[in-house]
Structure 1
């Protein structure tokens, strides 16, 4: 059977030679902060605030994080220094006492007939045991969920792996909290973008976690669980209360749709190409399963509709992958072969990493063990419609909270959800080009399919700037995305 591997199809030659454009006038005094005070800007958030990209936090990404871009523009209107907890290299990996605990960043490897993301080679030099002293304006902590910002064990190296390696590097003490260290800097202006990981970890795990709605104790959650919306709302209110206590102004951003990022939109549900003879052979192999479904329907164990939805049928051309769906009726008590199988529909999402195993053999010694065809994808390898609905329901609740509290605290609201939808639908144009959310070639997203490229972060920075200018009657110039790179080729 033809091996299926979904990879980047075409990479523009412009990747290796990025266009550069002139910035607008960068003269101090020409611009205005309006009613805001940018003299001490602190950014609070997760990996998106830190500048994480290509599945790692590396030096160039930090230097071109969206808060760094904002601070550069703030400096034209009274903004002060912006100190970031810079890593030691552009490899992106992390060590603890010399032992590597975080992989290197991804680059695109181009070989004959194939293009795929691979970790860059090299030994990283950022050791989290080497604590950084001082305070840091960029308090973006990769991996942080909302409730992690209040955890007083999150920066204690003795609590690994529960502690966060990125916060360990900069925590003011073993008992420090992220929000506490941010507020201790007495910011005059802040950005807060948090909550993505409260649903994203559930989504990227294929929905193997739990929806914790109704559970108000987040420290009993699993790593892939969805945070209760009331927990999120109470925490978010406490964050804003603390950040605005001294009269600081700020900007908060909402949470984008899972379905707008390449991690979930790149691999199509019908990713299996078959010729007519192979399709016929597979249909014959699945005939006992399909007949068993019809018998179960005749017995009234399942409805005719479920039997139809579960029937496996292949044809010449592109075919839906075969998967396991835990929401289907368990029929194994009738026959162990009647597992919860069906073929994917356009309502299902297949995560980007699954592209590397689709069409390969689960057992190298068995040519009939083709993943996604004769061996169904398991629960961790896809998001079903019901799992997507859990994510969407929580996201809507979080975004309602963010907008409501932005209005309550009279601070700027940044619609990142709208931005990501625009990137997905028509792209965002700038002086010199357009970027979209197409994986590999679109320019907006890095090779992990979740985090923006540096050019993508420039578009995020502009969305913040426009909201800040509007809310505080400020006059800040926007960033030119054309000055920043997209993906990197090995």
Structure 2
């Protein structure tokens, strides 16, 4: 059978003209630049990877130089803004040679005739740049909301226990400080805050796998978080953060900044993570009759037919249908929310399929079903579909076809519901806090939905969409933005700042920044 990977990516023109509404329609480029009611002389930005300029699966110098806060700071300089320093990675590859799990950036390469993102080898060991502090871009890749207020998040020793983050270790003022404490020490006149994405993202990008049993939600109290007492045996990175903890942590950041006189700023809400290419690129039904070829009939006769018959007898016939000979077919997945019919299927089907009686057939198909349009097949799963399952017996050993894709490969409708519920709760709190603290507010969620729409977003005749690789806005990891995508975000912040503080900061031109580099 044909290998089913991201071979459908066309190397189409990345930029093309369009009649869509131009976002520069709201620009103030023909008006003298003024600060309005704001003071931009010392601007700091707090957040996670999106704030740091992370892209292509890594943090590297040229990406940092195209972070959205650095773009905003550049425009603020026109209205009295000061210097804006970033803790730059000392190379343009990223990754850490002395830490597992930190490869260098993804690059687009031709693999077996198809354009494929390939990780680079990490370029250097974890460095320390605290001597150049303070830094105004305080975005920390991987940080969740409560990490900003957690003491010790920049401790070298904490890397061994899972309570610290190497990106903050690089520039933390001391092993016991917090991101918030270092921000407060700068006594900035203006701030931006975009945090909360990671409080649900890792749950989603790992297919809803986590350590909890009810919606993936952790139950840390705000008080526990603020003391830095994050027990790594209880806290798992794939959990969804309790909305009360997210709201309390963000409020803690705002209160801390307010206590040192930093009262003016801008805060953004959280986009639905399932609107990014990591979740929208691989279709739920990539198994075309042409790709399945002569195996289609054999699969229907030897697997899908018997499964359908047995499941119907157990009242679960809607889980499986015969493969179509004329239309694309859905992949086979495991849905842990389904009633487990392992014992029943083992007894009913092992003899009919000619498998050894010792084979735990039911464990393979007890919670199997075909994917639907409401499920999200992960970008990384594209290389798994149609591959051979280690240690699985033939003929039930082909991922997504004769063996269900496992939980970590798919975000099911149920799991996506948990994600949406959490994000809606986060965003309600963020908007309420923006209003109560008198801050400018960016509806990043609406902008991302607009970017993900059919018409996308246009700047000076160039159209940007959320389409993987060719849409121009997203980098090769399918989650983080390109320089052009970050420019779109920067403009949303600028527009909100101008509206709230009566400033006239000009927007940036996304077309002047970098996108995906083709081989």
- Relative to the length of structure 2, the TM-score reads 0.86
Evaluate the alpha carbon distance shift between residue 294 and residue 252 of structure 1 in structure 2; reply closer, same or farther with a 3 A threshold.
Answer: same
Deviation at 1:311, TM superposition (A): 2.0
Instruction: Spell out, residue by residue over 1:375-415, the C-alpha distance to the aligned partner (whole angstroms, 9 max, x if none).
Output: 11000110111101101001000000000010000010001
Q: Who is 2:309 aligned against?
A: 291
Residues 84-483 of structure 1: matches in 2 within 5 Å? 84-96=86-98, 102-111=102-111, 113-120=113-120, 124-125=123-124, 127-128=126-127, 131-161=130-160, 162=162, 163-209=164-210, 210=212, 211-212=216-217, 214-216=219-221, 219=230, 220-245=234-259, 246-275=261-290, 277-286=294-303, 287-297=305-315, 307-316=316-325, 317-336=327-346, 337-338=361-362, 339-363=366-390, 368=395, 369-425=397-453, 426-483=455-512
Deviates more, 1:124-133 or 1:435-444: 124-133
CA distance in structure 2 between the aligned counterparts of 1:225 and 1:332, rounded to whole angstroms:
27
Kept in 1: contact 2:130–2:173 (CA 8 A): no
Q: Who is 2:55 aligned against?
A: 53
Evaluate the alpha carbon distance shift between residue 131 and residue 39 of structure 1 in structure 2; reply closer, same or farther with a 3 A threshold.
Answer: closer
Evaluate the alpha carbon distance shift between residue 10 and residue 223 of structure 1 in structure 2; reply closer, same or farther with a 3 A threshold.
Answer: same
Deviation at 1:365, TM superposition (A): 10
Deviation at 1:357, TM superposition (A): 1.4
Deviation at 1:194, TM superposition (A): 0.3
Instruction: Spell out, residue by residue over 1:183-238, the C-alpha distance to the aligned partner (whole angstroms, 9 max, x if none).
Output: 11001000000000000011011101132265535634211000101111111111
**Where do 5+ consecutive residues of structure 1 fail to align?**
16-23, 298-306
Instruction: Spell out, residue by residue over 1:440-475, the C-alpha distance to the aligned partner (whole angstroms, 9 max, x if none).
Output: 100010000000100000000000000000000000
Secondary structure at the counterpart of residue 314 of structure 2: helix
Secondary structure at the counterpart of residue 314 of structure 1: coil
Q: Superposition RMSD on alpha carbons, in Å?
A: 2.3
Q: Aligned residue pairs: how many? A: 470
- Relative to the length of structure 1, the TM-score reads 0.91
Evaluate the alpha carbon distance shift between residue 25 and residue 247 of structure 1 in structure 2; reply closer, same or farther with a 3 A threshold.
Answer: closer
Evaluate the alpha carbon distance shift between residue 132 and residue 360 of structure 1 in structure 2; reply closer, same or farther with a 3 A threshold.
Answer: farther
Deviates more, 1:266-275 or 1:389-398: 266-275
Evaluate the alpha carbon distance shift between residue 234 and residue 148 of structure 1 in structure 2; reply closer, same or farther with a 3 A threshold.
Answer: same
**Where do 5+ consecutive residues of structure 2 fail to align?**
16-26, 347-360
Deviation at 1:290, TM superposition (A): 2.1
CA distance in structure 1 between the aligned counterparts of 2:117 and 2:208, rounded to whole angstroms:
24
CA distance in structure 2 between the aligned counterparts of 1:145 and 1:14, rounded to whole angstroms:
33
Secondary structure at the counterpart of residue 389 of structure 1: helix
Instruction: Spell out, residue by residue over 1:300-352, the C-alpha distance to the aligned partner (whole angstroms, 9 max, x if none).
Output: xxxxxxx1321242112411000111111111232333411100000000110
CA distance in structure 2 between the aligned counterparts of 1:379 and 1:181, rounded to whole angstroms:
39
Deviates more, 1:109-118 or 1:195-204: 109-118
